[in-house]
Structure 1
Amino acid sequence: MPGSITVVGVGPGADEHITPLAREALSKAEVVIGYRSYFRFVDELIPRDCERVEKEISEEDERAQIAVGLAREGKNVAVISSGDSGIYGMASVVHLVAAGFGGAEVSVVPGVSAFIAAAAKLGAPLGHDFCSVSLSDLLTPWQTIEKRIAAAAEGDFVTVVHNPKSAKRYWQLSRLKEIFLSSKSPDTPVGIVRNISREDERTRLTTLEKLNPDEVDMFSLLIIGNSETIAEGGKMVTPRGSKPVPPQSASEAARLIYDDSFDSIDRSLKMSDLLSVGEREAIRRCIHTTADFEYKDIFYCSPRAIEKWSGALRGGEIVTDVRMVLAGVSKRLLEKTGAKVFCYLDEPESLRISEQEGITRSQAAMRVAISRHPEALFAVGNAPTALIEIADTLAKASGGQSGFSPLGVIGAPVGFVNVEQSKARLEAAAEGVPYAVIRGKKGGSAVAAAIVNTALGFDEDAA
């Protein structure tokens, strides 16, 4: 009759961390197999007549093979593993070897993992999502380990670092620190526990920036906090979740969502230092409106156009090509600045001109608007023909053929027909006139409105 194998997690070292189930499994074993150094933790729990097989630290496969062989002979075998045997331990090794040979029943007794014990000593650093990574490249290629490190840092996980250093692995922890600092604050708390639950146990807190790899060895375990982890009174604590201030009103709740959205954009967005404050804010608003980070590359405006429009729009006029752009302009900012918005798409005169001259209603409406508001800010978010009308009129103005002198032009029509050409015509014709354009086929009413709102609210955003 075949025997059995029980893989027993015996905790990180202290007697109080050995569970009752682990004690029972050891008391019933006929053979105990393990790394020789681990026997000192369980020596008094092993029956006197029990056979002991003590192996070296690198002989995991051999331990598993011996266990399977003895179990097939009918022995009840216990394989001891420090911490929890399923976490960087012997459980997976024994299961795989047993599956290969067959004929051996395997069960696993969970134990207190070293990182769980270390977390308790540090305070409560694992209060939210966390992950664990081993820096040992004996069984895993370093390229894979580095990808996992980068993912942990970018994902803002609390990160447990096992096997941070050894005599041969002296540089990996420095590389981990470099990767984490590229995504996380230098003040991120870091807890270091050495020889957890043993006589010479030591714990200390530092920060990611001050972490000194030379002060860490193979007996150390690190826990790196997330963006909300705090270190106070010698303890490291990660809240179970963000604690938003309860909104006092619906508008305040909307503002919290609005601010969180921009915070998310700012964490992912890297912009050139050569851009003006106005350009940066316009790009942020375009991305917020579309959830499309390509706007960082396709938004262009003449030097300081947003800043120039900002002051001039107090009591000023804005013309839009369609009502969707008009609807997207912030009513609050209009009231604050005293600016007014006009759209002549449904104006009888626009309909008449469209029919008489065989042009689109949008183009006709823009012709009406130009005649009535020659000094307004013009925002086009839909119709390329409206933008072409503006560009052609600007070209005539530069030749002294019209009195058109707008505050500026926003060219953001969207689509496939005449869209790119209309934007190119604007850039060619807008000599001396501040303008903003979304290059390529993208754009839209919401984007045009977002750029208008950038100018209207620039003083708020800059503050």
Structure 2
Amino acid sequence: MSNTIFITGIGPGDLKYLTPQAFNALNRCDVFVGYKLYLQMIAPLTEGKETFSSGMKQETKRAEEAFRLAESGKSVAVVSSGDAGVYGMASLLWEMKMKNNSPIELEVIPGISSMFAAAALLGAPLGHDFCAVSMSDLLTPWETIEKRALAAAMGDFVTAVYNPVSKDRFWQLMRLKEIFLQHRSPHTPVGIARQVGRPEEETSVTTLEQLDASSIDMLSMVIIGNSQTQLFNGKLITPRGYSNKYGVDKSEIKPGRQIMHRSFHQILDEMGDVSNLSPEHLWVALYCIHTSADFSISSLIDVKPGSVDVLHNKLKSSQSPAIITDSNMGAEGIRKGMIDKLGLTVKCYINHEETLALANEKNITRAQAAVHVAIEEHPDAIFVFGNAPTGLMELIRLSRNGHASPTGVIGVPVGFVNVKESKHMLKYGLPNIPQVIIKGGRGGSNLAATIINAILSWDEAENMNPGEGM
């Protein structure tokens, strides 16, 4: 068709990405207009035909020449890599037609976008809501780009990054990384595809925390996963949710656990930069914030390094220690599903007849007496204190005197009198015992129980899949 411009996406590189529609349109054209590199990609199709090429930043000149050629009665192909409507020539040509009220017919021929070709190489990263943002500030002010990047990060969109780095544009991608780290886990998978569709094609995967602009250039496509994206065998998989909705997992993932899963990801997003927290601290903090809706609790948590891992392995061993709580509420808060699955013993002695008798006989608190009764049966238990500092202090005294050998201690009693002191005593009096403390006067039976639940589900932390036993 003469007097027509076919705005054609040629795909990311190799001719194998050229769609049949694009192939047929290009074969009908008299003249080809495009960036030099793009015309080289389709050289077999331009043989014996008129071409007009120019370099970078000369898009307007190419568009004007395309209209001039079409007005002379020729059928013109204006080629763009990928899809001509995605950061390509389509919008510019339509703008010119609108501005000049040109009679020239425009037909946009879709192509395979570099974003989609890269995604295919990287697995299935675009399985849920996604967006694209270009780091090039030649036509868009950086302030606008940054606002869009922030919206993408806050909205938990999988984000494809075009034009990530160039010789002069070396810092923008790292600024994007900073923005995303404020709203996304540092462990978020990131895929990089370079020279897609060309002989030099290569891919790599990293994390948001490890993303480095020095290994990326203009020929790279960067895809940042969302909070659900997982890394598997070097590929990025962003679930759509089909397996939960229609698959065999539906009966296994209870609604309560699904809600908890979503809550944890929301909490993690709102926590911002957590790179300074150990994985154990972060996992306990997520549980405590989920229980209390109080983000400040994270700064008060003190996990002795290795304690969560050690206690998790002990509780999942064939000779798991008993769990002794200082309140019935604390015992009730530990997930029954996990107790039954692992065959755990969970006891609270606060209302036992022996406890009441001992408390009266020795004129001590019931919490202190309950510790004495407990260690008679379970001297090596994991002791959980969310209520009574006197009970915690008694356990420390008995342990230091050789009458008890606790496997671990959760020291989060709440209140005023002796509360802070009891936690200092635990930290410095039993320094070799696995322990978790909430500093200051904060704590409570609900937090004590949730810390045990965090420890029980420690093997789900890497996949951010809390809630086993709900």
* TM score, norm. by length of structure 1: 0.59
Q: Could you give the per-residue CA deviations for residues 331-362 of structure 1, whole angstroms, max 9, x where no partner exists? A: x99xx9999xxxxxxxxxxxxxxxxxxxxxxx
Is the CA contact (8 Å cut-off) linking 2:3 and 2:104 kept in structure 1? yes
Is the CA contact (8 Å cut-off) linking 1:27 and 1:47 kept in structure 2? no
- Mapping of 1:384-423 within 5 angstroms? none
Q: Could you give the per-residue CA deviations for residues 5-31 of structure 1, whole angstroms, max 9, x where no partner exists? A: 110111111011111211211111122
Q: Could you give the per-residue CA deviations for residues 150-177 of structure 1, whole angstroms, max 9, x where no partner exists? A: 2222222221111011111111111112
Is the CA contact (8 Å cut-off) linking 1:10 and 1:22 kept in structure 2? yes
Identity of matched residues, %: 42
The residue type paired with residue 105 of structure 1 is E
CA distance in 1: counterparts of 2:445 and 2:46, whole angstroms? 78
- Map of 1:263 onto structure 2: 264
Report how many aligned residue pairs link the two structures.
324
CA distance in 2: counterparts of 1:233 and 1:281, whole angstroms? 29
- Map of 2:117 onto structure 1: 117
CA distance in 2: counterparts of 1:282 and 1:122, whole angstroms? 36
3-state SS of paired residue (1:156): coil
- Map of 1:460 onto structure 2: 449
Change (3 A) 1:283 1:105: same
- Map of 2:54 onto structure 1: 55
CA distance in 1: counterparts of 2:39 and 2:286, whole angstroms? 63
Task: Indicate whether 1:246 and 2:245 are aligned.
Answer: no
CA distance in 2: counterparts of 1:241 and 1:4, whole angstroms? 44
Is the CA contact (8 Å cut-off) linking 2:135 and 2:173 kept in structure 1? yes
3-state SS of paired residue (1:211): coil
- Map of 1:174 onto structure 2: 174
- Map of 1:79 onto structure 2: 78
CA distance in 2: counterparts of 1:189 and 1:265, whole angstroms? 17
Is the CA contact (8 Å cut-off) linking 2:264 and 2:290 kept in structure 1? no
By how many angstroms is 1:224 displaced? Answer: 1.6
Q: Could you give the per-residue CA deviations for residues 101-135 of structure 1, whole angstroms, max 9, x where no partner exists? A: 12111110011111211122222222222211110
CA distance in 1: counterparts of 2:289 and 2:126, whole angstroms? 37
Q: Could you give the per-residue CA deviations for residues 424-459 of structure 1, whole angstroms, max 9, x where no partner exists? A: xxxxxxx99x9xxxxxxxxxxxxxxxxxxx967454
The residue type paired with residue 250 of structure 2 is P
Task: State the Cα RMSD in Å.
Answer: 4.4
Q: Could you give the per-residue CA deviations for residues 258-314 of structure 1, whole angstroms, max 9, x where no partner exists? A: 52464366246559xxxxxxx999986686xxxxxxx989xxxxxxxxxxxxx9975
- Mapping of 1:183-202 within 5 angstroms? 183-202=183-202
3-state SS of paired residue (1:146): helix
3-state SS of paired residue (1:159): strand
Task: Indicate whether 1:142 and 2:142 are aligned.
Answer: yes
- Mapping of 1:191-230 within 5 angstroms? 191-230=191-230
Change (3 A) 1:195 1:264: closer
Is the CA contact (8 Å cut-off) linking 1:165 and 1:172 kept in structure 2? yes
The residue type paired with residue 246 of structure 1 is K
Q: Could you give the per-residue CA deviations for residues 372-411 of structure 1, whole angstroms, max 9, x where no partner exists? A: xxxxxxxxxxxxxxxxxxxxxxxxxxxxxxxxxxx9xxxx
- Unpaired runs of 5+ residues, structure 2, are 273-284, 297-324, 337-346, 351-387, 389-415, 420-442, 453-470
3-state SS of paired residue (2:112): coil
Change (3 A) 1:87 1:262: closer
CA distance in 1: counterparts of 2:33 and 2:150, whole angstroms? 37
- Unpaired runs of 5+ residues, structure 1, are 272-278, 288-294, 298-310, 316-329, 340-406, 408-430, 435-453
By how many angstroms is 1:52 displaced? Answer: 1.4
By how many angstroms is 1:198 displaced? Answer: 1.2
Change (3 A) 1:247 1:200: closer
By how many angstroms is 1:136 displaced? Answer: 0.4
* TM score, norm. by length of structure 2: 0.58
Change (3 A) 1:462 1:206: closer
CA distance in 2: counterparts of 1:286 and 1:206, whole angstroms? 34
Is the CA contact (8 Å cut-off) linking 1:126 and 1:158 kept in structure 2? yes
Is the CA contact (8 Å cut-off) linking 1:2 and 1:104 kept in structure 2? no
By how many angstroms is 1:80 displaced? Answer: 0.9
3-state SS of paired residue (2:12): coil
Larger Rg over CA atoms: 1
CA distance in 2: counterparts of 1:107 and 1:55, whole angstroms? 22
- Map of 1:445 onto structure 2: none
Change (3 A) 1:242 1:458: farther
Is the CA contact (8 Å cut-off) linking 2:125 and 2:225 kept in structure 1? yes
Task: Indicate whether 1:19 and 2:19 are aligned.
Answer: yes
- Mapping of 1:344-363 within 5 angstroms? none
- Mapping of 1:362-381 within 5 angstroms? none
By how many angstroms is 1:65 displaced? Answer: 1.7
Change (3 A) 1:67 1:267: same
By how many angstroms is 1:91 displaced? Answer: 0.6
3-state SS of paired residue (1:246): helix
CA distance in 2: counterparts of 1:138 and 1:127, whole angstroms? 31
Is the CA contact (8 Å cut-off) linking 2:13 and 2:196 kept in structure 1? yes
The residue type paired with residue 255 of structure 1 is G
CA distance in 2: counterparts of 1:198 and 1:96, whole angstroms? 31
CA distance in 1: counterparts of 2:115 and 2:39, whole angstroms? 21
By how many angstroms is 1:36 displaced? Answer: 1.8
